[in-house]
C-alpha cells in the first residue's frame, strides 16, 4: 500500500503489456490518487498512455470503493463477500472516514480563526502563480521564434500554447515517417516541467535504439517555484538543447 515504486516500474509494466496485446489498460492503485513518480514512469509517457486510454489512476477515496461494492453485489461465496465487506470498511475508516472528516474540520477552523493571514497567503500564492505564468509565456514566445535546422528529411513543428487538464502546455515535435518525438513544456500549478514522449505510431525498434541516449535521461528540465527568477533565456536554452538532442537521435538512428 505504501511501498515506493521501483525504478521504471510502471514503464516496464506498460512495455510488458504492449508485447502481450494491442489493447490493454494499466491501473495504478494509489491511496489518494497521486501521480506516479518520474522515476517509475516519465510524465510525458504517462500522459501519452492516458491519451491512448491505456492508463488510469485509481484512488482508495472514491473509485476503489465503487469497484468493491460492485464485487460484493455479484459475489456468491459468503467468505469472499465477508472479506470484501471488511476490506471496504477498513478503507472507509482509513481514507474517507473520521480521519479525513476531522482533518477537513480542523482546516476549516484554522482558516476561520486566521482569516487575515490566510487571505495574505492566498494573495502570495496568486502572485507567485502569475510570475511563473509570465515566465512560461516568455519562454514560449522565444521558442516559437526559434528555427531548428537539420540536413535530413525530418519534419519539425510545434503546438500550443494550450490548456490541458488545468495545465498550460507547449510542445515541439520531430518526425520521420511514422516515428515521432514530442518535446513537452508545461506549467502545472507553480511548477514548470519539460519532458518528452513518443507518438503511438513510433516503432518499438526505434524507441529501443534510443533507450540509452542521453536525451532520455539527463536533459530533462524540472523547475519549481523556487526558480521563478531564472531567466527565460536560460530555460529556452535548455529546451532548445532537448529538441536538438531529439533531432540528433533521428539523424543517428534512422
Total of domains in the chain: 1
Flag whether 213 is in a domain.
Answer: yes
Flag whether 175 is in a domain.
Answer: yes
Copy the grid coordinates of residue 222. Answer: 524540472
pTM of the model: 0.57
Flag whether 189 is in a domain.
Answer: yes
Residue 4 DSSP one-character state: P
Query: What pLDDT, on the 0 to 100 scale, is given for residue 216?
Result: 46
Flag whether 116 is in a domain.
Answer: no
Copy the grid coordinates of residue 181. Answer: 518525438
| Domain limits for position 147 | 122-253
Flag whether 39 is in a domain.
Answer: no
Query: What pLDDT, on the 0 to 100 scale, is given for residue 103?
Result: 65
* Chunked mean pLDDT (size 10), the chain, 254 residues: 74 88 85 80 85 84 78 84 83 66 72 86 90 90 86 86 88 90 86 83 84 52 50 84 85 76
Cα dist from 60 to 50, 84, 106, 247, 252, whole Å: 19, 14, 22, 42, 46
C-beta of residue 42 within 8 angstroms of C-beta of residue 211: no
Query: What pLDDT, on the 0 to 100 scale, is given for residue 217?
Result: 42
Query: What pLDDT, on the 0 to 100 scale, is given for residue 227?
Result: 47
Contacts of 29 (CB under 8 A, 6+ apart): 58, 60, 64
Amino acid at each position: 500500500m505504501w511501498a515506493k515504486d521501483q525504478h521504471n516500474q510502471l514503464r516496464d509494466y506498460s512495455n510488458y503489456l504492449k508485447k502481450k496485446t494491442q489493447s490493454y489498460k494499466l491501473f495504478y492503485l494509489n491511496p489518494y490518487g497521486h501521480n506516479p513518480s518520474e522515476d517509475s514512469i516519465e510524465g510525458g509517457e504517462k500522459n501519452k498512455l492516458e491519451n491512448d486510454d491505456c492508463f488510469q489512476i485509481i484512488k482508495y477515496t472514491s473509485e476503489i470503493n465503487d469497484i468493491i461494492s460492485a464485487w460484493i453485489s455479484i459475489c456468491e461465496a459468503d467468505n469472499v463477500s465477508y472479506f470484501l465487506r471488511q476490506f471496504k470498511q477498513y478503507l472507509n475508516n482509513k481514507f474517507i472516514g473520521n480521519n479525513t472528516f476531522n482533518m477537513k474540520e480542523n482546516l476549516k477552523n484554522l482558516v476561520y480563526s486566521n482569516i487575515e493571514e490566510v487571505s495574505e497567503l492566498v494573495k502570495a500564492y496568486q502572485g507567485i502563480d502569475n510570475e511563473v505564468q509570465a515566465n512560461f509565456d516568455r519562454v514560449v514566445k522565444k521558442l516559437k521564434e526559434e528555427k531548428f535546422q537539420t540536413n535530413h528529411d525530418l519534419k519539425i513543428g510545434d503546438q500550443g500554447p494550450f490548456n490541458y487538464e488545468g495545465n498550460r502546455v507547449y510542445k515541439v515535435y520531430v518526425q520521420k515517417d511514422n516515428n515521432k518525438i514530442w518535446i513537452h513544456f508545461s506549467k502545472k500549478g507553480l511548477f514548470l516541467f519539460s519532458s518528452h514522449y513518443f507518438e503511438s505510431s513510433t516503432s518499438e525498434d526505434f524507441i529501443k535504439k534510443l533507450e540509452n541516449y542521453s536525451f532520455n535521461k539527463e536533459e530533462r528540465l524540472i523547475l519549481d517555484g523556487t526558480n521563478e527568477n531564472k531567466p527565460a533565456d536560460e530555460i529556452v536554452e535548455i529546451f532548445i538543447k532537448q529538441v536538438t538532442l531529439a533531432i540528433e537521435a533521428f539523424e543517428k538512428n534512422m
